[in-house]
A = this chain, B = another copy of it.
Amino acid sequence: MSETFAVGLLGHGTVGSAFRELVEGRAEQIERTTGLRPEISGVLTRSRGDFEDILARSDLIAELMGGIEPAREYVLRAMEAGKHVVTANKQLLSQHGEELYEAARTHGVQLRFEASVAGVVPAIRVIHETLAGAHVERVHGIVNGTTNFILTEMTRTGASYGDALAEAQRLGYAEADPSEDVNGKDAAAKMTILARLAFDVPVRLDDVPYEGIENITSEDIEYAKEFGLSLKLIGSAERIGEGISVQVYPAFLYEGHPLASVNGSFNAVTIESPAITEITLSGPGAGGSQTASAVLGDVVSAMIPPTSLPAPAQPLPVVADRESAFYIHLEVADRPGVLAQVAEVLGLQGVSIRSVVQKGLGEDARLSMVMHPVLESKFRAAVKLIGGLDFVRSKPRALHVVDEEFAE
């Protein structure tokens, strides 16, 4: 029988139940990596479970209940009992962080909290571990998905703040009472946590001035487009002389800024340090399964300090012929029927055209096309046939296109 690693789960809402499911689904893989099989040793909800009983049967407590009390009491009690803690609770950390960090040091246990800021975007781990040896000068973040969704909608459709908020609520990106999201307080709590990590100094939520997006108009956004600017709710934490500044405010970004292209409900964090210039991390900021993934990553890290890679699984077969979208460019004689013949050859090989541009150049024309995804062998066969058509003036140019499967 394999050895288990017992995880006590506090809270069984969206994140808690997604986490439980993920642990069950990934237990085998995690056992292969760590030598231990994670198991949920008990679940505490408002109506069932006994905290002390669950604690006694757990190696680690995953606190996913939210709020200050009793979460604070349970987390402190778990660390006193020598158990590691993983939490997604930004409220708790931004208000009682020092007390909790100190308890972890005192009792020699791990306290991990990746999921408390920007969901699965690994801002905490990167500042705390990758950049452990770096001097961080500044952190800029889009750390609230609700407001980023609203601002993206206002930019994209010209909608008013009120209409974009209603749309966000309809799609589940904003809560029925969105006030702490739209007024910037949620982002301020997250920036408090990041600033503590980046600068190794205590930061109180009360020291973080915040301003939200409630008063932004679609005209603000529209007029600023003339300067190539786009509007985001930005959390900033930076060293200024011998002090620090931590703030949240709506701000315009120039095109090309790494945060300017972060749209929809995505979150992103840019970390600047003289030695590295900057790193940008982006991804989905919230959602049950994303947050649960971040929690599970923390749990696995607490299970075993990663020494090396696990022994590999059996090699998987290498797939030589794979589907891809393609671009093709042809120099052709400019005469009737050319496009039709090219399209026919493609069609016979099962290659489907997505878009075409044809430009006449006197006697010749150039023909550029993007294909829908197709097996590479079929596309190459078609290109070979097209290269042999009598009206084709030079060797066809063919290149891959990465298909748009990514989320927005």
Query: What is the interface of chain A, defined by CB distance below 8 A to chain B?
Result: 22-23, 26, 29-30, 32-33, 98, 100-102, 104-105, 108-111, 114, 120-122, 125-126, 128-135, 140, 196-197, 199-202, 207, 217, 219-220, 223-224, 226-227, 229, 231, 234, 238-247, 249-254, 256-259, 261, 263, 270, 272-273, 275-284, 289-290, 292-294, 296-297, 299-301, 305-320, 322-323, 327, 329, 355, 357, 366, 368, 370, 397, 399-402, 404, 406-408
| Cα-based distance from A224 to B329 in the complex (angstroms) | 9
Given contacts A241-B319, A277-B407, A297-B133, contact A401 B306 (CB under 8 A): no
In chain B, what residue has the closest Cβ to A32? B200
Inter-chain contact B132/A297, CB cutoff 8 Å: yes
Inter-chain contact B199/A240, CB cutoff 8 Å: no
Contacts of A368 in B (CB 8 A): 223-224, 226-227
| Cα-based distance from A54 to B231 in the complex (angstroms) | 54
Contacts of A246 in B (CB 8 A): 318
Given contacts A240-B323, A245-B322, A258-B406, 9 further A-B pairs with CB under 8 A are A29-B200, A129-B301, A202-B312, A202-B315, A220-B399, A226-B357, A245-B319, A254-B401, A257-B404
Inter-chain contact B402/A223, CB cutoff 8 Å: no
Inter-chain contact A309/B109, CB cutoff 8 Å: no
Contacts of A275 in B (CB 8 A): 22, 289-290, 292-293
Within the complex, which residue of B101, B140, B251, B370 is in contact with A229, where a contact is CB–CB below 8 Å?
A: B370
Inter-chain contact A301/B132, CB cutoff 8 Å: yes
Inter-chain contact B277/A283, CB cutoff 8 Å: yes
| Cα-based distance from A114 to B246 in the complex (angstroms) | 30
Given contacts A130-B122, A243-B316, contact A250 B400 (CB under 8 A): yes
- Taking each of A29, A197, A281, which has the highest tally of chain B beta carbons within 10 Å of its own beta carbon? A281
Within the complex, which residue of B207, B229, B307, B309 is in contact with A108, where a contact is CB–CB below 8 Å?
A: B307
| Cα-based distance from A329 to B231 in the complex (angstroms) | 14
| Cα-based distance from A251 to B134 in the complex (angstroms) | 34
Inter-chain contact A126/B125, CB cutoff 8 Å: yes
Contacts of A329 in B (CB 8 A): 219-220, 223
In chain B, what residue has the closest Cβ to A370? B227
Inter-chain contact A281/B281, CB cutoff 8 Å: yes
Inter-chain contact A101/B308, CB cutoff 8 Å: yes
Contacts of A357 in B (CB 8 A): 223, 226-227
